[in-house]
Amino acid sequence: MGLEARSAEGEFFGTSRLADFIARHAAAGRPAPETMRQLMHALLAHQEEQLQDATVVLVEWRTGGSERVAP
């Protein structure tokens, strides 16, 4: 998963960076598919465009109305 993606220097993408990324995109009101697309770009950039073995899962929680769940 993205948490384990490493830069050329061996730095993990990590939980903090992933949480920050998701929070920023949720606050911007971006739809889940666009957030996923942007996450893939961020992972590729972190790995200097050399995608390694990766698993990314998208889960979208819909409340059934206009209500939103706060991040």
User: Are residues 56 and 1 in contact, defined by beta-carbon separation less than 8 angstroms?
Assistant: yes
Q: Using one digit for the tens of pLDDT, what is the confidence trace for 2-31?
A: 578 888 888 888 889 988 998 998 889 888
Secondary structure (DSSP) of 26-38: HHTT--HHHHHHH
Q: Using one digit for the tens of pLDDT, what is the confidence trace for 39-59?
A: 999 989 998 888 776 777 877
Q: How many domains does the chain have?
A: 1
User: Are residues 18 and 40 in contact, defined by beta-carbon separation less than 8 angstroms?
Assistant: no
Integer Cα distance of 1 and 14 in angstroms: 10
Segments forming the whole domain that contains residue 14: 1-71
